[in-house]
Amino acid sequence: MTETVPQPLLQVRGLTAGYSGRAVVHDLTLTVDEREIVVVLGSNGAGKTTTLRAITGHLRPFGATVTYRGEPWRTDRPWRAAARGLAMVPSERFTFAALTVSENLTLGAHTVSLETERHEREQRVLELFPRLAERREQRAGTMSGGEQRMLSVGIALMARPQLLLLDEPSLGLAPAVVEQIMKTLRQLVDEDGMSVLMVEQNVGQAIAVADRVYVLRSGRIILEEPAEAMRAREQWWDLF
């Protein structure tokens, strides 16, 4: 009897994307499995953000075959992402400055009709990020950069995504805050069964929680290996 091989949660093949007719990502292929953190590492200009935007459909790729949850993913319809269990956190601090932490989180659950369900989801986010619980009634615009970054992740988590995509969550943050965010992502995968696709420049913090790693250089994947093998390397500079 032939054993059925599990399909990846996300499978991207032949992704080519860029701007004004000029490709900056070339024939990229990657996968994300269930309950897995996959990190795409690369320096500035390597094409990391372009890759995420093309996968979600915020940037229409020149060419790609994308499968999500076993079905073709239409990269020209990003508005369907939340309903399909996919959420992206951009590198900018995506919060509503004039609203409180609680109000921001409520907006993240706009597709949830039951108040009890919204409350349950908010409590889970506040459990994951105790600092947000302390500032539940504080306006987002008065919070620190690290707190706003946590809140932007919390907003995405209110949709209970099966796959969370993050664009450089460590950008501009203190190491202690980055460590907390990374540990929280690992906790979400281990306890809630979520999967994560993250692009990063912070090699050490990212591979500490990752399962698999891709290295992107000049728009092309030059390496894929288990995070354990990446952690065992004495140096990484030659990859970038």
Report pLDDT for 136: 96
Residue 131 lies in a domain: yes
pLDDT computed for residue 112 by the predictor: 78
Say if residue 189's pLDDT is above 60: yes
Backbone conformation region of residue 69, classed left if phi is above 0, alpha if psi is from -120 to 50, else beta: left
Residue 19 covered by a domain? no
Domain count, the chain: 1
Kindly write down the DSSP assignment for every residue of 162-223, as one continuous string. SEEEEE-TTTT--HHHHHHHHHHHHHHHHHH--EEEEEES-HHHHHTT-SEEEEEETTEEEE
User: Above pLDDT 70, what percent of the chain?
Assistant: 96
Average pLDDT of the segment spanning 216-222: 96
**pLDDT for residue 137:** 96
Say what the pLDDT of residue 80 is. 73
Is residue 182 a part of any domain in this protein?
no
Query: What is the model's pLDDT at position 15?
Result: 97
pLDDT in tens, 67-112: 999 999 876 667 777 778 899 998 877 899 999 999 999 988 877 7
> Per the domain annotation, does 6 fall within a domain?
no
Is 118 inside a domain boundary? yes
| Domain boundaries, position 112 | 93-160
Please determine, for residue 4, whether its predicted confidence score (pLDDT) is greater than 70. no
pLDDT tens readout for residues 18-41: 999 999 999 999 999 999 999 999
- Does 213 reside within a domain? no
Residue 177: CB atoms within 10 A of its CB come to 19
Please choose, from the candidates 201, 182, 214, 95, the residue with its C-alpha nearest in 3D space to the C-alpha of residue 147.
Answer: 95
The identity of residue 63, as a single letter, is G
pLDDT at position 43 over 80: yes
